[in-house]
């Protein structure tokens, strides 16, 4: 387990640009994206082992809403997602993790279990399909070295991150498509504000 606690970085594109594959899945796309992020951040804030949640965004509406639920916010000055995460991680002195903003069903206990399973190593949790990454964690003094994007699970593994497996269905269920959203709805875990 990491001590004294992990800083969880949650990158978020401007609401109008984020989650383009979900466009049309809800009456108001920006409300849906914000609801996904709020649900993710709220869960992370209450997970054992998490010291703080730092949202990296340049969207002023999202920044205000996420500050309101207890997250810290840093301006996104990165060239892309991985650059933004590298820059934010460089400012963190303790253990650091990256968590996407699209885990609306996340149960805090699952995040806590995954952080504990990392055991101080640089490690990652693959998404439900086993292709993407839903959690990347690094110990103090070790670079996060994010490789998010297509095939990120294999990319993280190639760079030496340990693949973590566990019974963490809500952690592994990111919402990229309308089908993913339907799974979360089927669990009865549609976030507040995400109207059908």
Window from 1-15, 74-88, 116-130, 167-181 with minimum mean pLDDT: 1-15
What confidence tens digit (pLDDT) does each residue in 68-86 have? 999 999 999 868 999 999 9
DSSP β-ladder status, 72-75 and 50-57: parallel
Average pLDDT over residues 3-17: 86
Go through 166-178 and write b for each residue having 16 or more CB atoms within 10 A of its CB, e for each that does not.
eebebbbbbbbee
Domain ranges of the chain: 6-186
Q: Does residue 153 have a pLDDT over 50?
A: yes
Q: Does residue 192 have a pLDDT over 60?
A: no
Tell me the C-alpha distance between 81 and 85, whole Å: 6
Q: Does residue 195 have a pLDDT over 50?
A: no
Name residue 81's beta-bridge partners. Answer: none
Q: Under CATH, to which class is 6-186 assigned? A: alpha beta
Band (124; pLDDT cuts 50, 70, 90): very high
pTM of structure: 0.91
């Amino acid at each position: 387990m990491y001590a004294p606690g992990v800083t969880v970085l949650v990158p978020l594109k401007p609401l109008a640009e984020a989650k383009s594959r979900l466009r049309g899945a809800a009456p108001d796309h920006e409300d849906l994206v914000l609801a996904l992020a709020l649900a993710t951040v709220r869960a992370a804030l209450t997970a054992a082992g998490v010291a703080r949640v730092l949202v990296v965004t340049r969207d002023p509406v999202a920044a205000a809403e996420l500050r309101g639920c207890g997250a810290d916010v840093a301006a996104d000055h990165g060239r892309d997602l991985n650059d933004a995460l590298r820059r934010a991680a460089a400012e963190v002195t303790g253990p650091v993790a990256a968590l996407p903003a699209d885990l609306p069903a996340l149960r805090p206990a699952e995040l806590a279990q995954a952080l504990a399973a990392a055991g101080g190593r640089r490690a990652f949790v693959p998404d439900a399909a086993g292709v993407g990454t839903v959690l990347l964690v690094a110990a103090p003094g070790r670079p996060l070295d994010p490789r998010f994007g297509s095939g990120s699970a294999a990319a993280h593994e190639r760079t030496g991150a340990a693949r973590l497996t566990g019974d963490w269905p809500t952690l592994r269920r990111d919402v990229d498509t309308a089908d993913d959203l339907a799974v979360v709805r089927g669990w009865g875990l549609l976030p507040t504000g995400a109207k059908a």
